[in-house]
Structure 1
């Protein structure tokens, strides 16, 4: 059986915890920052886990990670 390919874009954008959870950055942090409040930008700095309903889509793209 041939090897499965890893999606490199997902591999670069997400970090994996020891429990096989994926950690993501928040969106809307790269541009148009002048009109966003400082409190909102502080919240966007934090990292969050990927929702469990979306986790299955990512696991198929990262076959050898978990």
Structure 2
């Protein structure tokens, strides 16, 4: 059986919390921020949470088996 390895792109972008959820950064914070409202920029400052039972969470579980 082959070795289990984490997906190198996923391990740079997602982190597993102590409760088993995944943290991610929200998109849209790099450039072209002037036309966006302040409330939208503040919303993007917070980390996004991915639940492990969601479709994305199940995919991340496959991508990050060592976490």
Q: Shorter-chain-normalised TM-score: which range?
A: 0.7 to 0.9
RMSD across aligned positions (CA): 1.2
Q: Output the CA distance in 2 between the equivalents of 1:36 and 1:26.
A: 14
Gaps of 5+ in 1: none
Q: SS at the partner of 1:15?
A: strand
User: Given the alignment of the two structures, is residue 61 of structure 1 paired with residue 63 of structure 2, yes or no?
Assistant: yes
Q: Matched residue pairs, number? A: 65
Q: Output the CA distance in 2 between the equivalents of 1:20 and 1:35.
A: 36
- 1:35-46 aligned within 5 A: 35-46=35-46
- 1:5-24 aligned within 5 A: 5-24=5-24
Q: SS at the partner of 1:36?
A: coil
Gaps of 5+ in 2: none
**Structure 1 runs, 4 residues or longer, greater than 2 Å off:** none
Q: SS at the partner of 2:9?
A: helix
